[in-house]
Amino acid sequence: MVNNIAIEKAKTSKIKDVDFDNLSFGSVYTDHMLVCDYKNGEWSAPKIVPYQPITLDPSAKIFHYGQSIFEGMKAYKDEDEKVWLFRPLENFKRLNKSAKRLAIPELPEAHFMEGLMALVHLESDWIPKNPGSSLYIRPFVFASGKGFHASPAGEYKFIIACAPSGAYFSGKVKVLIEQTYSRAANGGVGYAKAGGNYAGQFYPTQLAAEKGYQQVIWTDDNTHEFIEEAGAMNVFVRINDTLLTAPTNDRILDGITRKSILDIAKDEGIKTEVRKVSVHELVEAAKNGSLKEMFGAGTAAVVSPISAFGYEGVDYDLPELADSYASRLKKRITDIQYNRAEDKFGWRHEVI
């Protein structure tokens, strides 16, 4: 029992079979997972059990009505073997914000935080020590209750699973500004981390890939005049020396990395503006040379630089910068995450 969390340990560990020098992202899983069930109107006490398959009835409502939400987090190990999380309470708050929007019962903070801490503590040997590596953590909740009736389920399952992952680096990406499909709509669930949001992105992204692009830049659902997100990440644009990003709304995820970048940029003396950025403004800035950078921001890659964007059959290349905002901001965040630098914001959370 750790932090009041019951633990059933795996009989044998898989860790000896893992090549920690060649980890792909999110494809190898640790020995244990946290499980917690919602039944009869309340969440049961969470427990840690061996990582294992889940058995569900074919009528489980997750399959039919898509009540599913998740978070993405990481645990880091510093040079002294101490383990750290990055702004975990923000993930908890956002998970419950998503839950409320999808009519899923909200989780008690203690269930999330104590369960998370106990699981990461137990699996600390799984945290890679190679540069840029980390333990990816996936909390998720889905409807496990049965029934074909189109209504919220009566039962839910909360799970946290972990995957040791290498550095998430795919190089600079070429993106296509989307003019037909929308990621989300006003009054919808775009601000929630709902599984269906991501499922809906796959097809337009496949179409973009067929044209030679790695991701799409989503635009507003009404006019397609304003840029909103980059693939599954928030998007930043640097025009001259000003860093711009769209304001959050019903359609845009309130990214934790996004918020962190804005705070660090201000601390670095970088001028920031949170406002609508039109496709026309972006194209004109690319033409006149004032567009210096574009990058995506999210948990997995932290910062993903964009090398070029396509719009109406024309590709616009971005310049190569020796001292980019993207590299500066990524270094500031990762230095905090890995306990290599002062954390003046109070974001780092030690796992004991």
Q: What does the alpha-carbon distance between residue 251 and residue 112 come to, in Å, rounded to a whole number?
A: 26
Q: pLDDT band at 50, cuts 50/70/90?
A: very high
pLDDT tens sequence across 120-136: 999 999 999 888 899 99
Give yes or no for residue 1 having a pLDDT over 60: no
- Tokens, residue 2: 């750790």
The reported pLDDT for the residue numbered 172 is 77
For residue 285, give Cα distances in angstroms to 1, 267, 303, 325: 58, 26, 22, 17
The reported pLDDT for the residue numbered 168 is 72
> Mean pLDDT score of the chain, rounded to an integer?
96
Give the CATH architecture of domain 6-165.
Answer: 2-Layer Sandwich (3.30)
Q: What does the alpha-carbon distance between residue 50 and residue 35 come to, in Å, rounded to a whole number?
A: 10
Written out in words, the top-level CATH class of the domain with range 173-337 is: alpha beta
Give yes or no for residue 45 having a pLDDT over 80: yes
Give yes or no for residue 352 having a pLDDT over 90: no
Average pLDDT over residues 8-21: 96
Segments making up each domain of the chain, as ranges: 6-165, 173-337
Give yes or no for residue 212 having a pLDDT over 70: yes
Q: What does the alpha-carbon distance between residue 35 and residue 139 come to, in Å, rounded to a whole number?
A: 10
Q: What DSSP letter does each residue of 136-155 carry, written as one string?
A: EEEEEEEE--B-SSSS--S-
The reported pLDDT for the residue numbered 329 is 98
pLDDT tens sequence across 242-299: 999 999 999 999 999 999 999 999 999 999 999 999 999 999 999 999 999 999 999 9
The reported pLDDT for the residue numbered 3 is 66
- Tokens, residue 91: 């993930």
SS (H, E, C) 242-264: EEEECCCCCCCCCCHHHHHHHHH
The reported pLDDT for the residue numbered 102 is 98
The reported pLDDT for the residue numbered 169 is 59
Give yes or no for residue 2 having a pLDDT over 60: no
Average pLDDT over residues 34-48: 98
pLDDT tens sequence across 143-197: 999 999 999 999 999 999 999 998 775 677 999 999 999 999 999 999 999 999 9
